[in-house]
Amino acid sequence: MIHQVHIIGGGLAGSEAAWQLARRGVRVRLSEMRGTGERSPAHQTDALAELVCSNSFRSDDDEKNAVGLLHHEMRQLDSLVMTAAAKAQVPAGSALAVDRDVFSAEVEAALTAQPTLEIVRERIDRLPESGLTIVATGPLTAASLADSIGTATGADSLAFFDAIAPIVHRDTIDMDICWMASRWDKSETKDYINCPMNKEQYLAFHAGLLAGEKTSFKEWEANTPYFDGCMPIEVMAERGLDTLRFGPMKPVGLDDPRTGRWPHAVVQLRQDNKLGTIWNMVGFQTKLKHAEQVRLFRTIPGLENAEFARLGGLHRNTFLNSPMLLDRQFRLKTAPHIRFGGQITGCEGYVESAAIGLLAGMMTAIEISGDTWTAPPRTTALGALLSHITGDAEADSYQPMNVNFGLFPPLHDVKKKQRKEAYTSRAKADLSTWLTSAEPAELTA
């Protein structure tokens, strides 16, 4: 099949872009390196849209939360990622969490069923010299392609480290010590397993994190910053004795049924698959060596006999200085036939990555149709992300960013307590208006 658009990378962004194009009748070639015998340092399967870190898409509250609003907007645009997430959902309180295997299978099945889409397992080493292309290779872009991107941009890519949290087999958790609850009992289903720590246990654990043997850095990894939203737990521990107790180990709102009081600290685990057989340690991304992880994490009350389905890990992420290199449609200024989508643009998070892939797919479809692209309003979550990546952020200090209300045009005349609801109400109204003109003209496959 002769393609109209070449998409490089079958992660969340590439899969979403492919879906948005193929469902509009565009002929697409989706190239994915995994399946050729090669994988990135973080991937464990050859499945499209594999979730390599958490299994959570974070809050699904579209009234008071920016990422929940982004969920809403993507659903309005027939997002494949959001449709697959609904089919793969597992309990997680107000968050949207999924069985990662079911999720990937749903994405791949939907794409395979598209008659104008060809999925090819191949490694692409160079940016194409011509033809509409979307590069969605993510933060773990293969070295050869990264070199080609560097040559095309004439600038060094920025980089940061990203760490993966461990996953525990449910039947190895001691529920005589741990208990099920959501913070402040907000969820009737009590979706989290809570492991309590007294002060002595916490102090010993904190000391173990500081002393534990860590993964060593390679020479090319030196002086690369972490992204604050995925900080390794031992790096957080280095910032102060109580940093963890105000972060992933905060006990606030969690009454230990054995004492009726909040523990000194709490380790929470969240369901990771539909069967409920594996649970991930919330906020426990780490660069500790594997043997050290097993030893130290088994000192956590309730996890003394824990068996791990996956231990934590560390990988290097790279992203473009997008405000400097890309135009307002994610096109490379020096080679406008090439668009970028997903985390490589400098967004952070599963949902944000998929959202940028969705927009890249829509932009390309409209370009093919001959229509003029009209960007979603900056008052929407999609528009706020787009604006941040392609020009609102300072190029000399550009860093990965999750969607948040700080990216939205401010509402100074609204009281602070009412501001989140006001942001979401404005966004939903503006998105509805934009949708009436967003769809491209009829396309010929």
Classify residue 9 as left (phi > 0), alpha (psi -120 to 50) or beta: left
Query: If you ran DSSP here, which 8-state letter would residue 123 be given?
Result: -
Which residues lie across from 97 on neighbouring strands?
56, 90
Binding residues: 9-14
How far from chain centre, in Å, is Cα 87?
A: 18
Neighbours of 304 (CB within 10 A): 13
Strands 117-121 and 28-32: parallel
Q: Answer whether 325's CB lies under 8 Å from 344's CB.
A: no
Alpha-carbon span 14 to 353, nearest angstrom: 9
Cβ atoms of 254 and 181 closer than 8 Å? yes
Angle of helix 350-369 relative to helix 80-87, nearest 10 degrees, comes to 140
Binding-site residue set for FAD = 9-14
317: closest CA among 253, 240, 226, 252? 226
Using the Cα atoms of residue 132, residue 138, residue 141 and residue 147 in order, give the sign of their dihedral. Answer: positive
Q: How far from 51 is each of 128, 299, 326, 359, 413, CA to CA, in Å?
A: 27, 28, 27, 20, 40
How far from the centroid of its chain's Cα atoms is residue 267's Cα?
22
Residue 261 CB partners (closer than 8 Å, separation 6+): 255
Tokens coding 40: 């990135």
In this structure, the strands spanning 158-164 and 313-319 are antiparallel
